[in-house]
Chain A
Amino acid sequence: EVQLVESGGGLVKPGGSLRLSCAASGLTFSNAWMSWVRQAPGKGLEWVGRIKSKTNGGTTDYAAPVKGRFTISRDDSRNTVYLQMNSLKTEDTALYYCTTVNWGAFDVWGQGTMVTVSS
């Protein structure tokens, strides 16, 4: 069974940084495309970004609101994907989900980690 476990969320001041981690198990991680999705309190789901597998170039894509501030990376030796978030804004407050990507869709979801940006 594929499992994704996010960690690293917390309270951070505007302008600060935070790094989220997502540990994966039950899959050949090096072949997996991974994505981050977030959900602000009481709001809908929003795609944050995606990283392809290294065999597909390992490239990343980001949603416009986070481009230039957030960076997704992966460590296939640790079966882990990361989301480095810099220059955080109050509007980045959300529950952040890690997902696998398959056939242009989100496949397996983690339970999420909460990020609160507040002074």
Chain B
Amino acid sequence: QTVVTQEPSFSVSPGGTVTLTCGLSSGSVSTNYYPSWYQQTPGQAPRTLIYNINTRSSGVPDRFSGSMLGNKAALTITGAQADDESDYYCVLYLPSGMVFGGGTKLTVL
């Protein structure tokens, strides 16, 4: 079974830049998998940040950007703010269905 991989945790300083990645346990992430990214703070429903690799969802600030980085999808946060401290999930649209990564807990300190 294919597993979508993410860093379990990451830390960034306020104002800094961080890149989170989304990979596959075997093989490369294809653009045909339409990588997307979601932000979730405790007790809240997820919020869609990025879809189709690099398209920002409505209302998402441009300091969030998506890209392909080597054989993975990536989410970059430029100029991190305190309220960016959240869990971030990627999703890949695989032949087996829509599969979530395990999530990355981002700390801003």
| A residues adjacent to B (C-beta < 8 A) | 35, 37, 44-47, 49-50, 61-64, 97, 101-112
A-B contact sample (7 more), CB < 8 A, given A37-B100, A104-B34: A45-B100, A46-B100, A50-B97, A97-B46, A102-B51, A106-B48, A112-B45
- A-facing residues in B87-109 (Cβ within 8 Å): 87, 89, 91, 93, 96-103
Chain B residues with Cβ below 8 Å from A108 are 48
**A45, B51: Cβ atoms under 8 Å?**
no
**B97, A106: Cβ atoms under 8 Å?**
no
Q: How many A-B residue pairs have CB under 8 A?
A: 69
- Chain B interface residue bracket vs A: 20 to 34
Interface core residue of A102, A106, A108 (most chain B CB under 10 Å): A106
**B52, A103: Cβ atoms under 8 Å?**
yes
**A47, B48: Cβ atoms under 8 Å?**
no
Task: Report how far A108 CA is from B101 CA in the complex, Å.
Answer: 19
Does B57 belong to the interface (CB within 8 Å)? yes
- A-facing residues in B7-53 (Cβ within 8 Å): 33-34, 36, 38, 40, 45-48, 51-52
